[in-house]
Amino acid sequence: MKLPNFENARVLVAGDIMLDRYWFGEVSRISPEAPVPVVHVSRTEERPGGAANVARNAASLGAKVSLLSVAGKDEAGDSLARLLHNESVNVVLHRDEGLDTTIKLRVIGRQQQLLRIDFETSPSHEVLLSKLADFEKMLADTDVVILSDYGKGGLTHIRQMIELANAMHKPVLVDPKGDDYARYYGATLLTPNRGEFREVAGSWKSEEELAKKAQQLRRDLDLQALLVTRSEEGMTLYREAGTVHEQALAREVYDVSGAGDTVIATLGVLLASGATMPEAVHMANLAAGIVVGKLGTAVVSREELMAQA
């Protein structure tokens, strides 16, 4: 398909943000203190993660992107605000003194992730309530809403957010987490990965059984569509009109972290640009194939997508 111009696409992202830190180094010996590798760190890097990675992916494609979230009044929160500003994302960030900004620290040696260390606390109820008021104001100036749920507490009021978006006829895409999908009732599209879907719907032995479970969940939650991302099996879109399957692209998988962020960001930008759901899924599959060939939470540009389209 011919790619539409993404410059006029307006995307609002809300959800759990985090700071992805990377320590890169060489591994040349095993520690004498314990049977673990010793990493001599030679380079460090910071990237926006979680909903912030969704926002930077949408911005990388050329869309006008706003991000609404909560962060701590700390150094990591400052870093996130700076990084997102540099990615041309309009950020409305509620800063909470009682909150530590979520950090995922990854130690990389020989181009492989050796260790991940997480630092996190849940945001306070008061901060989240004030975020809801801002969400309602920002809805008027957007074409598509993406709710990125990482289970960190930033979307406690997600049911009200979906209702507000529906009342203004704004499509709502949700990247879900956990086993309580009732909170996503009425969304336009849900994008669980294979493991997340199995956690909610149970296992299956055939494509027919998978389709039956997917369509049942779609009806139960009053969704327009359900997209199950299936790793090496590609991704499958379930709608009332039927099923659309996209094969995974045959390329070397370097790193799958953040691939789900790229998928939902691409879907949002394409839908905001007037693409149909199957067209958006096709492009999201291409974007996923590109991003898994990069290390860490990465982005896909419009030029890269055009080269694959």
Q: How many residues does the chain have?
A: 309
| Token duo for residue 66 | 């706003």
DSSP code of 223?
Answer: -
Q: Is 179 a catalytic residue?
A: no
DSSP code of 87?
Answer: T
| Token duo for residue 182 | 């009732």
Strand order in the sheet with 242-246: 90-96, 64-72, 10-15, 144-148, 172-175, 189-190, 225-229, 235-239, 242-246
| Token duo for residue 222 | 């009053």
d(Cα 82, Cα 17) in Å, to the nearest integer? 14
Please choose, from the candidates 117, 123, 192, the residue with its C-alpha nearest in 3D space to the C-alpha of residue 155. Answer: 123
Catalytic residue among 20, 149, 175, 261: 261
Q: Please count the other Cβ atoms lying within 10 Å of the Cβ belonging to residue 208.
A: 9
d(Cα 116, Cα 94) in Å, to the nearest integer? 26
Helix, strand and coil content of the chain, in percent to the nearest 5, comes to: 35, 30, 35
d(Cα 72, Cα 266) in Å, to the nearest integer? 28
Residues with catalytic annotation?
261
